[in-house]
Structure 1
Amino acid sequence: MEKEWKEKVEVEDHEDTDTITYKKLDTFYFKKELSGPGLTGEEILVIPHIFLMTVVGVVHRDKPAMLNMMGKAFNGILDNPKDIFMRVKALDILFRGVVINCARTEFAPKAVCTALKKEAAGQLIFLPNNQYMFSIFGMRNGTADSHVVTVERGMKNVMDVGKVVEVDGKPKMELFRDSCNEYQGTDGTIFPPFLTESDRLQTFSGDLCRSFKAWYQRKSSYRGIKTNRYITNIGDYANDPELQCYCDSLETCPPKGLMDLSKCIGAPMYVSLPHFLDCDPKLLEGVKGLNPDVSEHEIAIDFEPITGTPLVAKQRVQFNIRLIKTDKMELCKDLPDTIAPLFWVEEGIQLNKTFVNMLKHQLFIPKRVVGVIRWLLVACGTLGALGCLVYHFRDSIMHLAVSSESPSVTKVNPEGVEENNISVIEQARGPTKVDI
């Protein structure tokens, strides 16, 4: 298993436009202890030959008449392959590289190598003696991306924080049609705060040249913090009006769940969810051994809604290639003309205990304290208001308590004594004289 460390480098603030520009730097580390039991990265994989099928796909699309020559070229630069599958060590195809022998003097291999050096300089490593090295992530590892990304800082409007404004100084792409060329959403590392269940989060992926819209799925939690879970998928280009502008026409749209990367990376490859999850069922019919599982293969992010902080995220995508059947090449005449999976990757974040505790102590505990104090103040204010009312109307309250409308007092006489026998001593009008 590889651990990926993402970093923003060459960061510059632009206060006049409230934006930041940066480049992306990805570094991969092989973690043997995180791999399967006994796996070292030196295991031999048998997969469709990525380089061979990529070149065949480009030539078949742009110059099909040259397919005959391509067969001769592959015999030279790939040392007479017996089929379209490559048998290669995992670390070689991922990072170290697979040799393409361009030290050939025959016309066909030399012509192909000349074209590769011109058209694929960013994907190949050139060694002495005309030896080229091809790998999936080798050119990205530890190297800053050449593209300069401009995003909003959110100082003037916090709801715009992280929003992609430009790439390489251009306010939109020039690959597709209409709105599909726009940079919609953030760069995926930060999101606006105060998320609600009705919000659809948008992110722009530079690696895939398109924006994705995630929608609210359900309530969730992480390490005692309440979160909202959002999910997304590749979509159905032919039947979703918002995605149809990625296709030249409805007839050229890929099957449901597939995204054509031809215009993005220049190679006829397709992206889907792993194991063709949420894809056209016909794609599963062409491949054995796939078992799509929502819990293992979906794209899901758990957000803390107040700050918009992603606490847990799982971004999973599968790269596929078309096995083109053509009689013009001996290697491809018996292929099933289907979409074959190559590999799938999972990029994710999981906030560790340190950052979770920081979030709790700096946001949630103060928030709870403020909540308790608020209700205490409300209670004290209510009691104070009642006390003031009672004091202000105390005379009226006392008058009501002893009013004539209260029950009358009953006069009680001693039993057996006549009323007229009771004498009343009048008050003496003067002092009484006492003789001693």
Structure 2
Amino acid sequence: MQLPKHLKIAAGSAGAAIFGVLFGWVIFPAILKSQLKKEMALTAKTDVRQMWQKIPFALDFKVYLFNYTNAAEVQKGAIPIVQEVGPYYFEEWKEKVEVEDNDAEDTVNYKKVDVFYFKPEKSGPGLTGEEVITMPHPFMLGMATVVYRDKPAMLNMIGKALNGIFDNPEDMFLRVKVLDVLFRGLTINCARTEFAPKAVCTALKKEGPPGLILEPNNQFRFSIFGARNGTVDPKVITVNRGKKNVMDVGQVLAVDGKDKQELWRDHCNEYGGTDGTVFPPFLTEFDRLQSFSGDLCRSFKPWYQKKTSYRGIKTNRYVANIGDLANDPDLNCFCEAPDKCPLKGLMDVTKCVGAPMYVSMPHFLDSDPSLVQNCKGLNPDVNEHGIEIDFEPISGTPMVARQRVQFNMLLLNTDKLELCKNMPNTYAPLFWVEEGLALNKTFVNMLKHQLFWPKRAVGVIKWMLVSFGTLGALAGAVFHFKGRVRAGA
């Protein structure tokens, strides 16, 4: 039986509508998901692997230091008054080296190397890096604090050692050029022959604390970032490639072959989350992201905050903070003991960094109010000092990221050390850093070409097929039944 022309059109239109539904809501999403699973894996031939291994653009690395304007008074017990100086802007180039794949385990091993370049033109107005600031002496104060904690009976000898190495310092403060303390380094004179300085220098040479570089003639050079600049980090990191399961991509599995740390208590020793340079795709606002920070030896769990957009691409914003270790069961194991936690917003990272440091959010944002009250000149602002990352949810790509952390030390008060006998015993901010990225136009356009323009084109096509197919089918049906009604009349 030959169908009338209008019924053929109606059937074809209905078929087009059905195809539009199947293609637009079933077939294409399945193809897209399958393709993303392949492209997001850290296997040797994917674009993601190439970017993960060597980020093809510099990250923003900004350093803000605190200049102490009343050092003499603080030495006598006064509350510090600080003035923020910065930002000092550096380009940070990240690369993974000595990369080795393990196909059987679907893992990849690597070491990290970071290179920094100072850019005065992008720094704060007029800043050259030659500015002289006054700050608590991180080396002297650190040495005194470690001995006070671990071997208090040796404090008297440490006092003599500090006098010998630093030529009888008047206080616990350092007057230094910014680039010297950050990268170029300060000389630690270990050429002394007296017993105390010689014993301390021998211990330094043996233990190799962070920030120290041994030079000829028994000299050390100390800086905050200098030893890290352009140097391969000896730690071997093992992460999941995500070929078998893309949702596991970038998950940290081990460091130096160990699947757990030995620094904290209980589950805080676990490596939770990715290495922070790649994230799984298909994120929703209900997902709890997680990444492991090797610099702080802990995992962070940013939480969803709100919908955002970047250069025309819809994104999800996630935020994070240091947390309240005393009152958060998930974080309490970062404390020395359940009842020995630092104040809210502080974390003792001595075991991680090898120096008696406490980290917080800049200006003690989201921290115990007493921390701000005990240091004048701080103005915490969530927009300036918060941690935030904007993710493109389908691919899991970080579009904009601002990771900020402040490093602090305790202004140790003890009668057993002359330089510390009147110190206020409060937490003193030394500096804070912002490590950030904002994908440039080239990479945003690449993402649009490879993901969003095909997705939008399919979106238009599927609605056209469904709309015109449905209209065609309805029109054909109406015409058919209208014709039958007329024929019956």
For normalisation by structure 1, the TM-score amounts to 0.89
**For the residues of structure 2 that align with 1:236 and 1:122, how far apart are their CA atoms?**
27
Q: 1:313: Cα distance to partner?
A: 0.2
348, 360, 363: which one aligns with 1:260: 348
Cα deviation per residue 1:85-119 (whole Å; 9 max; x = unaligned)?
Answer: 00011111111111111111111000100111111
Moved more, 9-18 or 265-274: 9-18
Cα deviation per residue 1:267-294 (whole Å; 9 max; x = unaligned)?
Answer: 2110000000000001111111000011
Moved more, 347-356 or 1-10: 1-10
Partner amino acid, structure 2, of 1:34: K
Matched, 1:14 2:99: no
Structure 2 portions without partners, runs of 5+: 1-88
1:79 maps to which residue?
167
SS in 2 for 1:250: coil
Partner amino acid, structure 1, of 2:200: V
User: Superposed, which structure 2 residues align to 1:254-293 within 5 Å?
Assistant: 254-293=342-381
**For the residues of structure 2 that align with 1:62 and 1:322, how far apart are their CA atoms?**
15
2:278 maps to which residue?
190
Q: 1:57: Cα distance to partner?
A: 0.9
User: Superposed, which structure 2 residues align to 1:402-417 within 5 Å?
Assistant: 402=489
**For the residues of structure 1 that align with 2:114 and 2:242, how far apart are their CA atoms?**
25
Partner amino acid, structure 1, of 2:101: D
SS in 2 for 1:219: strand
Partner amino acid, structure 1, of 2:247: M
1:4 maps to which residue?
92
More helix by share: 2
2:249 maps to which residue?
161
**For the residues of structure 1 that align with 2:367 and 2:342, how far apart are their CA atoms?**
10
SS in 2 for 1:397: helix
SS in 2 for 1:211: strand
2:434 maps to which residue?
346
1:57 maps to which residue?
145
**For the residues of structure 2 that align with 1:166 and 1:398, how far apart are their CA atoms?**
79
**For the residues of structure 2 that align with 1:169 and 1:189, how far apart are their CA atoms?**
20
109, 119, 132: which one aligns with 1:44: 132
1:309 maps to which residue?
397
**For the residues of structure 2 that align with 1:381 and 1:300, how far apart are their CA atoms?**
45
2:13 maps to which residue?
none
1:235 maps to which residue?
323
Q: 1:69: Cα distance to partner?
A: 0.9
**For the residues of structure 2 that align with 1:392 and 1:16, how far apart are their CA atoms?**
63
Q: 1:262: Cα distance to partner?
A: 1.4
Matched, 1:226 2:310: no
SS in 2 for 1:290: coil
Matched, 1:216 2:277: no
- Cα RMSD after superposing both structures: 1.4
User: Superposed, which structure 2 residues align to 1:325-336 within 5 Å?
Assistant: 325-336=413-424
SS in 1 for 2:162: helix
Moved more, 363-372 or 115-124: 115-124
Is 2:210–2:353's contact at 8 Å kept on the other side of the alignment? no
Structure 1 portions without partners, runs of 5+: 403-436
**For the residues of structure 2 that align with 1:73 and 1:264, how far apart are their CA atoms?**
25
Q: 1:310: Cα distance to partner?
A: 0.4
Larger Rg: 1
User: Superposed, which structure 2 residues align to 1:381-392 within 5 Å?
Assistant: 381-386=469-474, 389=477
Q: 1:11: Cα distance to partner?
A: 1.6
User: Superposed, which structure 2 residues align to 1:372-387 within 5 Å?
Assistant: 372-386=460-474
**For the residues of structure 2 that align with 1:348 and 1:157, how far apart are their CA atoms?**
29
Q: 1:363: Cα distance to partner?
A: 1.3
Partner amino acid, structure 2, of 1:149: I
**For the residues of structure 2 that align with 1:244 and 1:128, how far apart are their CA atoms?**
44
2:50 maps to which residue?
none
**For the residues of structure 2 that align with 1:266 and 1:235, how far apart are their CA atoms?**
22
**For the residues of structure 1 that align with 2:320 and 2:91, how far apart are their CA atoms?**
24
Partner amino acid, structure 2, of 1:373: I
2:40 maps to which residue?
none
Give the count of matched residue pairs.
401
Q: 1:176: Cα distance to partner?
A: 1.2
Q: 1:389: Cα distance to partner?
A: 4.0
**For the residues of structure 2 that align with 1:151 and 1:328, how far apart are their CA atoms?**
47
Is 2:135–2:173's contact at 8 Å kept on the other side of the alignment? yes
Is 2:210–2:354's contact at 8 Å kept on the other side of the alignment? no
SS in 2 for 1:386: helix
Q: Higher relative contact order by CA 8 Å / sep ≥ 6: 1 or 2?
A: 2
**For the residues of structure 2 that align with 1:277 and 1:235, how far apart are their CA atoms?**
11
2:114 maps to which residue?
26
SS in 2 for 1:251: coil
**For the residues of structure 2 that align with 1:122 and 1:341, how far apart are their CA atoms?**
19
1:319 maps to which residue?
407
Cα deviation per residue 1:289-315 (whole Å; 9 max; x = unaligned)?
Answer: 000011100000011111110000000
Partner amino acid, structure 1, of 2:106: D
For normalisation by structure 2, the TM-score amounts to 0.80
